[in-house]
Structure 1
């Protein structure tokens, strides 16, 4: 039996399992079964909270997609982890440092029931010429390739919700280079950005925190902060020296026990 809580950050939903008071292990096939929205519990990512690997971390967090693959990091997910830990009194309600597969993340509670996430500022990467040519063939002209803890292809387009993102993502991920890349469409919107994301291993989600961070990072040049809007809600993002701060919600949905199969 596996005890879990279901939570979401901006509609990005998670099954969260803690391995602190009791060790709970899952196989890849079990993760896939739990992720099935018709026959299982359903999630965008399954998250496990584990003891820290390093003395300067409070916890080590692992993320799994619906196809059973492991994700590097999830910024909406770490906010939900914080809410989980503080709600269950598994950590004092103060700043925590979380280790992940790709980077360390600092989370902070706020008085407004939202949670701040502070991480290294996303880095823009160069795409090899052969892959640029492939993007051109698929009609992709304005884009940035960003490492925000996960890899992101951020594409600027006038009407993100009129575009067939699933087909584009499927075509691009036929290339090994793009197989584990999250693919987003964005446009300028009100006082910020409007974004849609297809996550590698999970498909399109209502919100993707690291995609929001990646898209904000290339549009914050002359602004101190901006908002990123998605179908799931909004996130507030600002640059603080060489760090990026994201503020957003983390909501509890339900809890239960999954009978291991």
Structure 2
């Protein structure tokens, strides 16, 4: 085996990216988990694959796998990275691309300064489309978690999000409340969870618990969901800078019925070649242990 890949990141949300157009990429959940392992594999939050598209007018199919091995609908930071990857590797010479995902079509555009803007489509607010197990819209709706009530806003940006306003995002209980909300029965496909502090009408501080990956430095769809929620709360305007642990994104949303647009960087760290698939983590090796 001689499988080429790139290691990329968008604000520290990092990826192993494969060209599935010019080579065969035979992924399994076990191989994805081994690749994503930061001690025994390459290390990443998600594994991304560009493949040929069977749809007219669409450049590529874009597939996203979380570090736990599961395939998911959408990844905004990943969308910027695969667009840059397609240009850098000669898969396309176009600035504006159309990609299909499990969550629908998106359009990344590579800007002159190297950043990428992605039209993420119209956010979905209806419970049946997110999906939720309860009908209707959930905007600052009460939800009980371990006997405590939280006000949540549910949004889909091609994937499900649960957004909460907090006074201090830095002090938010990501590792406690994040997994509890990710796995809450309201979200049959689980949820990404955003903890949002409104700092100004054009600025949000956001921290993310990402479905299937845990705490991440950034989440593009999470930034989009945070702005949609904050607009619905009446707290921000049409263009907002979202400050994540890994850096900043600019999100634009005119309001209901309009697409949400995200602009930010896409960085290639290195390119590599797999001579063989990484071995799975030994059962005796516990996460986070080691001599250093």
Fold match, TM over 0.5? yes
Show the counterpart of 1:63: 64
Offset of residue 136 of structure 1: 8.2
Matched, 1:177 2:217: no
In the TM superposition, what whole-angstrom CA distance separates every residue of 1:135-169 from its partner, at most 9, and x where no partner exists?
4833413x210011110000001012212211112
Verify the 8 A CA contact 1:53 1:99 in the aligned structure 2.
no
Alignment of 1:54-203 (within 5 A): 54-126=55-127, 128=134, 132-135=142-145, 137-141=147-151, 143-178=152-187, 180-190=190-200, 191-203=202-214
Verify the 8 A CA contact 1:160 1:196 in the aligned structure 2.
yes
Show the counterpart of 2:269: 253
2:230 to 205, 219, 222: 219
Verify the 8 A CA contact 1:121 1:217 in the aligned structure 2.
no
Q: Name the structure where helix makes up a greater proportion of residues.
A: 1
In the TM superposition, what whole-angstrom CA distance separates every residue of 1:186-244 from its partner, at most 9, and x where no partner exists?
01124310101111111110000001001111334662311111011101111357211
CA distance in 2, matches of 1:226, 1:57: 29
Offset of residue 17 of structure 1: 0.4
167-176 or 15-24, larger mean C-alpha shift:
167-176
Unaligned 5+ residue runs, structure 1? none
Offset of residue 132 of structure 1: 4.5
Distance 1:52 1:232, change over 3 A: same
TM-score, structure 2 length as denominator?
A: 0.83
In the TM superposition, what whole-angstrom CA distance separates every residue of 1:35-89 from its partner, at most 9, and x where no partner exists?
1111111111100100013112110000001110011110110100011011111
Show the counterpart of 1:208: 219
CA distance in 2, matches of 1:99, 1:65: 17
CA distance in 2, matches of 1:133, 1:24: 41
TM-score, structure 1 length as denominator?
A: 0.92
Aligned residues: CA RMSD: 2.0
Verify the 8 A CA contact 1:186 1:193 in the aligned structure 2.
yes
Offset of residue 27 of structure 1: 1.4
2:246 to 232, 245, 250: 232
CA distance in 2, matches of 1:158, 1:137: 21
CA distance in 1, matches of 2:197, 2:182: 23
